[in-house]
Amino acid sequence: MKDNSRAKIFFAIPYISWLAVFVIVPIGLLIYQSLTNVQGSFTLANFHEFITSNVYLPMAFNSVFYALIITLITFMISFPAAYVLSHLKHRQLWLMLIILPTWINVLLKTYAFLGLLSKSGIINQLFSTFGLGTHNLLFNHVSFIFVAVYLELPFMLLPIYNSINEIDPDILKASRDLGAKPINTLSQLVFPLSINGIKSGIQAVFIPSLSLFMLTTLIGGNKVMTLGSAIELHFIVTQNWHMGSTIAIILILAMAVTMYFTRERGKRK
């Protein structure tokens, strides 16, 4: 027994070290930075500024607002798609096609959209051949949401697909047998039985969407300012690490709140 627990500790060493160096210490540093000012003395001024200045609260609202929209759209696409997918014959192949793009670097995909949506891009070329003229497709709210949804979609779809796939097909048969139309089965069985997958999907999409910053610049053309872009600004441009850390801590708190509300309740077998 003793050897066993010693072995366990031994095998946990790499993971614990990783955790310490790349998670615990950085968070500690963030907290320290957020609670100090340029002179290095402890203060709550950063948090005070976050709440009182009329810059950060609208940004926070923006972040949550856009993350909500992105999450909602990906869910509305993913749930029906996952349901259909789970009934397809060659679902492994379809699933592969959905997973495949996630293997490509996000920055690459973002640049691909710049090419697609730009003034001389393929979509505008199509528009002009049909006599519809060229349009500004980039650097606005819609393009930002569109690309974000594209990037996040697999992370919503996969957990929902997995949980729908785990539903015993006989349960769906039984529902039909008892007189349920597909819509009844969907609302009374498929949806509640895949709720844990839906929650994981929301976590996987909403939380990263809170801190999107690259997309806001590249695709949104800085028309959309989120907390993510503010952090970038403070660390890279204004070099105010204390304020940047404060925003980061507030983001982390927001993520924790999200995790709490989407946690799995009552393990079901």
Q: Where along the sequence are the contacts to other proteins (CB under 8 A)?
A: 168, 170-171, 173-181, 184, 188-189, 192-193, 268-269
- To other proteins, the closest distance from the beta carbon of 87 in angstroms equals 14
Nearer to other proteins, 180 or 255 (CB): 180
The number of CA neighbours under 13 Å toward the Cβ of 240 is 13
* Spatial distance between the Cα atoms of 236 and 231, rounded to a whole number of angstroms: 8
The dihedral sign for the CA sequence 38, 44, 47, 48: negative
- To other proteins, the closest distance from the beta carbon of 175 in angstroms equals 7
Query: How far does the chain reach from its first CA to its final CA, in angstroms?
Result: 31
**To which residue do tokens 């540093």 refer?**
29
- To other proteins, the closest distance from the beta carbon of 190 in angstroms equals 10
Nearer to other proteins, 33 or 175 (CB): 175
Nearer to other proteins, 13 or 183 (CB): 183
Work out the number of other CB atoms within 10 angstroms of the CB of residue 210. 22
Nearer to other proteins, 108 or 183 (CB): 183
Confirm if 131 and 207 have CB atoms less than 8 A apart.
Answer: no
Confirm if 204 and 155 have CB atoms less than 8 A apart.
Answer: yes
- R_g of the chain computed on alpha carbons: 23
**DSSP secondary-structure letter at 41?**
-
Nearer to other proteins, 8 or 265 (CB): 265
Confirm if 219 and 143 have CB atoms less than 8 A apart.
Answer: yes
Nearer to other proteins, 136 or 184 (CB): 184
- To other proteins, the closest distance from the beta carbon of 76 in angstroms equals 22
- To other proteins, the closest distance from the beta carbon of 79 in angstroms equals 17
* Spatial distance between the Cα atoms of 249 and 243, rounded to a whole number of angstroms: 10
- To other proteins, the closest distance from the beta carbon of 178 in angstroms equals 4
